[in-house]
Chain A
Amino acid sequence: MAVKKKILVACGTAIATSTVVARKIEEELEKRGISVELTQCKASEVPSKAEGHDLIVATTFVSGAGDIPVIQTVSFLTGVGIESDIEKILSYIGGS
């Protein structure tokens, strides 16, 4: 079995919008039969927690992610543009 891809979800507090975003990503990827490992953190914790993740999804501005790709989006909150963000996520995690 393939190793699960790891996605770090960041927001201001690590418990509010990132919770909603993490749940939506999990739901959307599950629909496509993809299971990932999601971790939440504060935007300010990205520099110390980014390592080892394949992708960072943030609802707010983050810096210090190094080489790890960052998708900054509120689509999972507004409902506008979820499909194209899922496509983006899939392009980074390889869809498997």
Chain B
Amino acid sequence: MTDQTLQFGDLVNEDLVLDHLVARDRSDALQKTATILVEKGYCRETFPDAILDRERIHPSGLPMSGHKIAIPHADADHVVTSTILFARLEEPVEWRSMGSIDDRLSVRLVSMFALKEKTLIGDMLETLITVYQHDEILDALIEAEDSEAMFTILKQAVQDYGVRR
């Protein structure tokens, strides 16, 4: 059994929680967030293209019952150090849905997974997906004052609802 709260604390940094990212569309949002992970040394230079390519073939928008979200990720080869970036977009952008390619979602909350270890990918994705199934958490993230508040909400939610295995 691993403690997801500890893992989450190790993985996620407040400086990777963005409270008002300006993006004109989905590609712009992906390019900007992926580039931050490259600049900060978490990902290789190949990461942004890998994220964009993957998004074209397998869209990452998810129609949660509350606010719609996107969970872009790419193959582990492009990652140097595992982390997760959270971005709240200034304005919603149109995102294609994972389940049905013709569905368009209006997305403001993007969680970009840059994870190397296979078990970590499953555990963290499951934990955050479980957290995002609570509408009130997504509401709180949308309404949070700033990055610090968003970070606190995420940490608390992982502790309250995160999956323990």
* A interface list, Cβ under 8 A from B: 11-13, 15-17, 19-20, 23, 43, 59-61, 72-74, 77-80
Contacts and interface: CB of A to CB of B under 8 A. Distances in A.
B28 to A, nearest CB: 21
Contacts, number: 60
Interface stretch (B1-9, B30-38, B60-68, B80-88): B60-68
User: Which of B54, B62, B74, B76 counts the most A-chain CB atoms under 10 A from its CB?
Assistant: B62
Interface of B: 54, 57-59, 62-65, 71, 73-76, 97-101, 113, 118, 121-122, 125-126, 129, 133
B73 A16 contact: yes
Nearest to A80: B65
A77 B64 CA distance: 8
B111 to A, nearest CB: 12
9 contacts: A15-B122, A16-B125, A19-B122, A20-B122, A43-B58, A60-B58, A77-B62, A77-B129, A80-B63
